[in-house]
Amino acid sequence: MEAEAQPLIDHLKLELDEAAFPASAPCKCYTSERNGYTMHVVTNGKCRRHGVDHVGTVAGGLAAWLSIEKFKPDLVINAGTAGGFNRMGAAIGDVFVSSRTVNHDRRIAIPGWTEWGVGKTDAVPTEQLRGALGYKHGVVTTSNSLDFIEEDAKHMLANEASVKDMEGAAVAWACEQHNNTPFFCIKVVTDIVDGDRPTHEEFLENLGAAARSLQEALPKTLDFVMGKRLSEL
């Protein structure tokens, strides 16, 4: 979402690259050099019909796919906000790095397809990164809905989800399909999924603060990552 990305774009003085993607593509790319590396920040863009930010797995997967095809990156970081689970120690404002991603709303009760639907994908190990910056660690679970039904809750519990988002597993899928491009997610908690407040109220209330937290967390993350081997993360 633009609200998630704009503080980072402003902080890093990124420039819009209008030629990065086909004109028909909704996603937007902002580019800069940092410590001798080229960095691209890609947003999903806005819906031409409704004027809102594209969210969910279709937009996230498309943006990731086009980005990997175009830039052949060494590492993909899916950055954004997410709901956190109190039972897994999440609090509003916490920064989580993914151990893996899963889907909790793709239920296909056919052998082989069941596993494909869940789509468990391990992220790059980040023990040293987390130790240096004090981030938390856990499973990112993904769906196309801000809310969830009882069956979704069962799957989130079974997969030991720490945070719930709407893009992570789709970005992981795009990375896996592109020769296992290394990736991880970094998510700031905006709401408590298993708390006592409506998700949409807490999300809107805390989105701005979470975006500012991302503005602080991502440059530190990038500075740590650049110049290191994946085995050193």
Residues catalogued as catalytic: 4, 191
Structure token pair of residue 85: 């689970």
Taking each helix axis from N to C terminus, what angle separates 57-71 and 168-177, rounded to the nearest 10 degrees? 40
Structure token pair of residue 197: 């407040």
Q: What is the DSSP letter of 112?
A: T
Instruction: Report CA torsion sign: 106, 136, 10, 199.
Output: positive
CA 142 to chain centre: 9
Please give the backbone phi and psi of residue 17, each rounded to the nearest 5 degrees, phi first. Answer: -105, 95
Q: What is the DSSP letter of 92?
A: T
User: Helices in the chain by DSSP H: which ranges?
Assistant: 2-12, 57-71, 113-118, 127-133, 150-158, 168-177, 199-225
Query: Which residues are bridge partners to 163 per DSSP?
Result: 84, 140
Are residues 207 and 139 in contact, defined by beta-carbon separation less than 8 angstroms? no
In angstroms, what CA-CA distances link 63 with 37, 77, 110, 113, 118? 21, 12, 29, 24, 21
Are residues 94 and 203 in contact, defined by beta-carbon separation less than 8 angstroms? no
The amino acid at residue 61 is G
